Structure 1
Amino acid sequence: MKIWTVANQKGGVGKTTTTVTLGGILASQGKKVLLIDTDPHASLTYYFGIDSEQLEISVYDIFARGKNMKKEEILQSLCPSSMENLDILPATMAIATLDRSMGNKNGMGLLLKKALAKLDNEYDYAILDCPPVLGVLMVNALAASERILIPVQTEFLALKGLDRMMRTMELMQSSQSKTYQYTIVPTMYDKRTKASLEAYKTLRTTYGDKVWPGVIPVDTKFRDASLAMKVPSLFCPKARGVYAYEALLKYLMKINGEASL
């Protein structure tokens, strides 16, 4: 199972949209995909019409019970989506308490990685949707990941959020003796505005080939798909935003040495 984490220490840059859209495209290609919500706001969970307040088991239990949680119990906590091959590990507000209750305990940073290892033969891909705040949840999501996708809105303030994210990864790399593979994904690009043009130019100049050469354009179809609680690749397969994510997926598979369908 390949594990990708979608992360940025700024909200509103397209993390959940990226998670849902890539997951939907992979599932439509016949890949077995697990989407994991590690954000207390539970945007990914609500996207699929799952009421987080009604859940008996969620991603919270992986942290609360740790290695004592068996594979069968993890599988029982998953929620199927309306799309074949696509399942959700939902979040609840309870995970907002993890930093206070468990943040200082040893070994907390690898709980999610160890839990996902138990599902290794169940899925082809797991994609994690991260909170915009550095803490136990983000640390676990980054530690579990093989590649980090960093959506960055093409505007000035979002570039400042990217600076914080890069510093976080540098700190974690030094503490874990691990080199993160990451791709910066320019999002909400509007070629009509000078702000988008300048922000994209700055990204390319500053981060070079770590930036995906394409862009995810502003596309209202993403909002419509969210309202309908359907993945964009099913709801609006010919939307320009979906085409952009298909191009991103081909790029990711190419740099990972995989064959795209």
Structure 2
Amino acid sequence: MKIWTIANQKGGVGKTTTTVTLGGLLAQAGYRVLLIDTDPHASLSYYFGIEAEGQTLSVYDIFTNKEPVTADKVLDCLSPTKVDGLFVLPATMALATLDRQMGNAPGMGLMLKKALSCVTDEFDYVLLDCPPVLGVLMVNALAACHKVIVPVQTEFLALKGLDRMMHTLTMMSRSLNKQFDTIVVPTMFDKRTRAAIQAQAKLMSDYSEEVWQGMIPVDTHFRDASLQQLPASVLYPKTRGVAAYRLLLKVLELDPVNE
């Protein structure tokens, strides 16, 4: 089972779109895929029509259940989607209270890693959609993963946010005693604007070793797909945005992963 965390400490850069689209492409290729929503805003959950506050069980229960986590307990929290082989572990707004409730509890940063170790045989891929803040949820997502995907919008304010995220990865690498296999993914690129072209050039200059050589273009089909609660790869497989994610997926799959 391969575990990828999609993270950035700036909101609105395409984390959920990246999670959904890559997950859709993998499921369409025949893999069993689990998408985990660790953001209290629950954008990933709502994308698939899952009413976060109406869920009996969610990722919140993975953190707060006092009994030892088991495969059955994890699987009971999942919601199916309209795509065969694609499942969601939804979020709830109660996640926003975790740092205050349990942030300093021993072993709290490894809860998701332990839970996922129980379902290794159930899924081929797990993709974690992170909140845009450094806290117990992002720490868990980073501790659990084999690869970190950092979407960054091609505009200068987003590049400032990327600096903060990369600093966080350096800090967490020391804390967790692990090296992160990181790929930075330029998103929302509009070749018609000078600002996007200049931002892309600076991104390549400042982070040449981590940045994917391609880019995800602006594509309104992503928004249209969210209205129908399906990945764009299912509804609009030949669009330029989906084609770009398909190229990204090929690069991700070429990289060695410690399973």
3-state SS of the aligned residue for 2:185? strand
The corresponding residue for 2:185 is 185
1:216 aligns with 2:216: yes
* Corresponding residue number in structure 2 for 1:105: 105
| 2:160 equivalent to 1:169 | no
Distance in 2 (alpha carbons) for counterparts of 1:22 and 1:175: 29
Q: Call closer, same or farther: CA 1:67–1:19 in 2, change over 3 Å.
A: farther
Matched residue, 1:60: 60
Conserved 8 A contact 2:2-2:257: no
Instruction: Give the C-alpha shift of residue 75 in structure 1.
Output: 0.5
CA distance in 1, matches of 2:67, 2:223: 38
Q: How does 1:63-212 map to 2 (within 5 A)?
A: 63-65=63-65, 68-212=68-212
Say if 2:146 and 2:257, in contact at 8 Å, map to a contact too.
Answer: no
Q: 1:10 — aligned with what?
A: 10
Shift of 1:71: 1.3
CA contact (8 A) 2:146 2:181 kept: yes
2:72 and 2:107 map into 1 onto residues whose CA distance is 23
Name the TM-score, length of structure 2 as normaliser.
0.98
Instruction: String of CA shifts for 1:81-113, please: whole Å, max 9, x gaps.
Output: 000010000001111100100111121110000
Q: Distance in 1 between matches of 2:27 and 2:129?
A: 17
2: CA distance, partners of 1:60 / 1:242: 31
Shift of 1:10: 0.2
- The Cα of 1:256 is off from its aligned counterpart by 2.7
Question: Residue in 2 aligned with 1:34?
Answer: 34
Does the 8 Å contact 1:9/1:164 carry over to 2?
yes
Separation in 2, partners of 1:74, 1:104: 23
Give the counterpart letter for 2:158 in structure 1.
A
CA shift, 1:209, in A, is 2.6
Q: Deviation digits for residues 6-54 of structure 1, max 9, x if unmatched?
A: 0000000000000000000000000110000000000000000011111
Decide whether aligned partners of structure 1 residues 161 and 87 sit closer, same or farther in structure 2, where only a CA change above 3 A counts: same
Distance 1:164 1:187 in 2: 17
Q: Secondary structure at the match of 1:9?
A: coil
Structure 1 residues 115 and 70: CA distance shift in structure 2, 3 A? same
One-letter code of the match for 1:129?
Answer: D
Corresponding letter in the other structure for 2:254: K
* Alpha-carbon distance in structure 2 between the residues aligned to 1:195 and 1:100: 40
Is this contact kept in 2: 1:67–1:115, CA < 8 A? no
CA pair 208-114 structure 1, distance change in 2 beyond 3 A: same
- The answer on whether the counterparts of 1:13 and 1:158 sit within 8 Å (CA) in structure 2 is yes
Count of residues in correspondence between the two structures: 258
Cα deviation for residue 76 of structure 1 reads 1.0
Q: What residue identity is the alignment partner of 1:53?
A: E
- After TM superposition, give the deviation of residue 255 of structure 1 in Å: 2.0
Moved beyond 3 Å, runs of 4+: none
Counterpart-to-counterpart distance in 2, 1:257 and 1:63: 26
1:67 CA displacement: 6.0
- Matched residues in 1 for 2:165 and 2:76: separation? 33
- 1:62 & 1:248 partners in 2: Cα distance? 31
Instruction: Please tell me the root mean square deviation across aligned C-alpha atoms, in Å.
Output: 1.2
SS at match of 2:34: strand
Q: Measure the CA separation in 2 of the matches of 1:43 and 1:65.
A: 23
Change (3 A) 1:44 1:257: closer
Unpaired segments ≥5 residues, structure 2 = none
Indicate if the aligned counterparts of 2:6 and 2:148 stay in contact, CA closer than 8 A.
yes
Q: Percent identity?
A: 60
Distance 2:53 2:203 in 1: 39
